[in-house]
Amino acid sequence: MTRTNLQLARRRVVSVCLAAGALVPFVFLAPAARAGDTAAPSPSGGKATTYNVEIRNFAFEPKEITVPAGARIVWVNRDEEPHLVVSVGGAFKPSQALDTNDSFATVLAKPGTYQYYCGIHPMMVGRIVVR
């Protein structure tokens, strides 16, 4: 099976499981962040600054970021397994199943604290603080 076919097969399995309600998301709150756990912005070429969060080894890196209001957050899956980015309380639209090197982005306009987790692996949690 080619890599592309394998990725499509994984997405189908995840989609079917989610549609059937086989995966029940559990919410675990992230512990307080350590000093220095903020992401460096990367140039986006637009008005909003882009901040990157990588999904690696079944964890969000960094686990917590602090960004200005209007920042664009981009998650990139570096694992071989699919992941879903889901906001606690529905503060932003959930991602589709992200396969290896797939990405998902959202813009956070309002100040506040946004908790999120992986809808497939709920032990994976993260937090975004918008100032």
Q: Which residues contact 121 (CB under 8 A, 6 or more apart)?
A: 58, 81, 83
Check whether 83 is labelled as a binding-site residue: yes
The closest alpha carbon to 33, from 130, 126, 131, belongs to 126
Angstrom CA distances, 47 to 44, 107, 129, stand at 8, 11, 19
Check whether 121 is labelled as a binding-site residue: yes
Binding-site sequence positions: 83, 118, 121
Binding-site sequence positions for Cu cation: 83, 118, 121
